[in-house]
Amino acid sequence: HPGATVARIPLKSGAVATSGIAERGVHIVDPRTGRPVDSVVSASVVAEGLGDADLWATTACVAGFDDLSWIRHANTRGGIVIAPDRSVRRWVGGHEVGVGENRLVV
């Protein structure tokens, strides 16, 4: 349900940023189409600094749930994206974890 905790990330240094439509509704626009982003409810990213974490969390929303190709080139430690159907994709460094047809559904 909305507001439920999906994951906890222990963090000794660095920053976490979350973006998406879960809290404030649709407010991110895909600059390629001019249309509101709707394939990611929430994206949380861990990076060395808050600016990078925020940038990549918004990037995750714009790229969409099905496109994590950008993570190989991003300066992130890891992250998680959640789709409207509550499917979850996670990555550590530049690699998705838990890949397969049995995507985690919360």
How does pLDDT run across 39-93, given as a tens digit for each residue? 899 999 999 999 999 999 999 999 999 999 999 888 899 999 999 888 899 999 8
> What HEC string does 22-67 produce?
CCCCCCCECCCCCCECCCCCEEEEEECCHHHHHHHHHHHHHHCCCC
Question: What gap in Å lies between CA 53 and CA 17, rounded to an integer?
Answer: 5
Q: Tell me the per-residue pLDDT of 10-39, one tens digit each, with 9 for 90 and over.
A: 788 999 999 887 666 667 888 888 988 888
Q: What is the pLDDT of residue 30?
A: 86
pLDDT, position 20: 85
The DSSP output letter for 71 is: G
At residue 36, the pLDDT reads: 87
Distance CA 61, CA 23 (A): 14
